């Protein structure tokens, strides 16, 4: 019975803490918003920084606990976006003019052809979809924090009148920044000073030369496999094979130029793709969205809210006042019952044990004295 009373009293206490003190006046309403903005800001900063020490974050194995770990959620979204770009970012061939049906048949299929302008529109749409995933995670996290620090009625009002407009404005900024990044990649001359470009270009050339060397050596050894083979024929013209390896050159200038251009394009594409993913994560999501969450609803921002908005956000309905009064009475009754039960348990148990122990001891002594007589 005592355990049930404790559970009921604790539930009433937590609900009363969420409802807060009565807020009939403007001063009480502003004080209430200031009071909930402090733990709200602390929890949001903890979620953004990835410090999950507060009890609010709960158990990591639950779905709600995972949603509350905002830094981990956004990090996984960054990794998923990078993987998506890496796996599907180069499945199409970007062309300035679409080929005719005859040219497509002569090409033998190959990658899907897509116009440059259409491709940029496709990437913009893809980025908008990915951006939506991040916003869904952020909105879900903010709802969970609000549910922790205030009642449901105030929760809805704060999100609708304070957080939603800020998130909408932030999303517009993200769209502008994303279009700007796409514009940089889609227009102008491709420039990079990253030393990995030279490394990638040389690696592509070395791979092409390796394939040519392999074909020459296979021809001299009379084998078609690249696996390890045992060869004992002493009639191989070593000098001729060496000259063949040295003399590997591309006589078709157009083919040579196209090959060099392709290697350069692939090397640049790898650099640009990684840079693009990093820019989206670092400048778009982190700089504009995640950093802005630290001050999205802070005590300083509460001071700037107009009086009429404070009344509409923190003002109480008649139902809320009645509910607080009912909970207060219930909590008082349960607290009194709990005190009575504890006094009864603490006061009765030692006396009873003492009484039982005392009577038992005196009776045994009397029996011993009687037996001696």
**The two three-digit tokens of residue 66, written as one number:** 């995972």
Backbone angle region of 222, left / alpha / beta, with phi > 0 → left and psi within -120 to 50 → alpha: left
For the cut 80, the answer to whether the pLDDT of residue 268 exceeds it is yes
For the cut 60, the answer to whether the pLDDT of residue 367 exceeds it is no
For the cut 90, the answer to whether the pLDDT of residue 142 exceeds it is yes
For the cut 50, the answer to whether the pLDDT of residue 330 exceeds it is yes
| 194 band by pLDDT with thresholds 50, 70 and 90 | confident
Burial class (CB in 10 A: 0-12, 13-18, 19+), 366: exposed
Mean pLDDT for the stretch of residues 67-83: 90
Q: What is the pLDDT of residue 158?
A: 94
For the cut 70, the answer to whether the pLDDT of residue 91 exceeds it is no
- Cα torsion for 73, 79, 80, 84, to the nearest 10°? 160
Distances (CA, A) of 47 to 25, 42, 56, 109: 33, 9, 10, 49
Distances (CA, A) of 147 to 24, 63, 101, 257, 304: 22, 16, 59, 63, 23
Q: Which residues pair with 94 in a beta bridge?
A: 114
Higher pLDDT, 261 or 27: 27
CA angle 232, 234, 237 (to 5 degrees): 125
| 317 band by pLDDT with thresholds 50, 70 and 90 | confident
- Where b means 16+ CB within 10 Å and e means fewer, 81-94 reads bbeebeeeeeeeee
| Residue in 75, 87, 77, 67 with CA at minimum distance from that of residue 132 | 77
Q: What is the pLDDT of residue 362?
A: 42
For the cut 60, the answer to whether the pLDDT of residue 360 exceeds it is no
Mean pLDDT for the stretch of residues 37-44: 94
Q: What is the pLDDT of residue 40?
A: 95
For the cut 90, the answer to whether the pLDDT of residue 191 exceeds it is no
Which of 178-182, 267-271, 345-349 is predicted with the least confidence, judged by mean pLDDT? 345-349
DSSP tag of 25? S
For the cut 60, the answer to whether the pLDDT of residue 356 exceeds it is no
Q: What is the pLDDT of residue 69?
A: 94
Which of 259-273, 298-312, 337-351 is predicted with the least confidence, judged by mean pLDDT? 337-351
Which ranges in the chain belong to alpha helices (H)? 2-19, 26-49, 63-68, 70-88, 101-107, 116-149, 152-158, 164-186, 195-221, 238-246, 253-279, 291-293, 299-303, 307-314, 318-372
Which of 42-51, 222-231, 281-290 is predicted with the least confidence, judged by mean pLDDT? 222-231
For the cut 50, the answer to whether the pLDDT of residue 159 exceeds it is yes
Q: What is the pLDDT of residue 225?
A: 66
Of all helices (H) and strands (E), which one includes residue 315? none
Mean pLDDT for the stretch of residues 260-274: 81
Q: What is the pLDDT of residue 120?
A: 55
The percent of residues in the chain predicted with pLDDT above 70, rounded, is: 70
Rounded to an integer, what distance in angstroms lies between the CA atom of residue 58 and that of residue 68? 8
Mean pLDDT of the chain: 77
For the cut 80, the answer to whether the pLDDT of residue 68 exceeds it is yes
Single pTM value for the model: 0.62
- Say which residues have a Cβ less than 8 Å from residue 190's Cβ, sequence separation at least 6: 268, 272
The answer to whether 74 and 266 are in contact (CB under 8 A) is no
| 105 band by pLDDT with thresholds 50, 70 and 90 | very low
Q: What is the pLDDT of residue 45?
A: 95
Mean pLDDT for the stretch of residues 161-174: 92
């Amino acid at each position: 019975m005592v355990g049930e009373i404790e559970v009921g009293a604790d539930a009433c206490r937590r609900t009363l803490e969420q409802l807060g003190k009565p807020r009939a006046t403007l001063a009480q309403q502003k004080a209430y918003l200031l009071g909930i903005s402090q733990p709200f800001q602390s929890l949001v900063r903890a979620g953004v920084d990835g410090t999950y020490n507060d009890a609010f974050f709960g158990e990591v194995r639950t779905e709600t606990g995972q949603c509350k770990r905002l830094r981990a959620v956004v990090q996984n979204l960054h990794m998923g976006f990078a993987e998506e770009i890496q796996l599907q970012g180069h499945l199409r061939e970007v062309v300035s003019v679409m080929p005719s049906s005859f040219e497509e048949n002569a090409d033998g299929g190959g990658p899907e052809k897509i116009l440059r302008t259409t491709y940029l529109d496709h990437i913009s749409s893809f980025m908008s979809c990915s951006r939506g995933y991040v916003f869904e995670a952020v909105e879900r996290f903010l709802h969970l924090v609000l549910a922790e620090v205030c009642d449901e009625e105030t929760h809805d009002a704060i999100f609708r009148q304070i957080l939603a407009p800020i998130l909408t404005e932030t999303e517009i900024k993200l769209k502008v920044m994303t279009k700007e990044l796409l514009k940089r990649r889609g227009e102008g001359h491709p420039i990079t000073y990253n030393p990995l470009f030279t490394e990638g270009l040389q690696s592509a050339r070395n791979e092409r030369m390796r394939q040519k060397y392999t074909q020459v050596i296979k021809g001299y050894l009379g084998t078609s496999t690249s696996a390890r083979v045992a060869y004992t024929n002493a009639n191989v013209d070593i000098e001729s094979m060496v000259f063949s390896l040295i003399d590997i050159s591309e006589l078709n200038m157009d083919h040579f130029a196209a090959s060099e251009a392709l290697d350069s394009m692939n090397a640049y594409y790898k650099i640009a793709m990684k840079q693009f993913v990093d820019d989206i994560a670092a400048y778009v999501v982190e700089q504009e969205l995640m950093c802005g969450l630290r001050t999205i609803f802070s005590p300083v921002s509460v001071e700037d809210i107009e009086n009429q908005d404070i009344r509409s956000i923190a003002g109480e309905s008649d139902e809320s006042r009645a509910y607080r009064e009912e909970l207060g009475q219930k909590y008082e009754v349960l607290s009194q019952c709990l005190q009575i039960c504890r006094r009864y348990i603490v006061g009765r148990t030692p006396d009873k044990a003492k009484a039982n122990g005392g009577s038992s001891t005196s009776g045994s002594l009397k029996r011993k004295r009687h037996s001696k007589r």
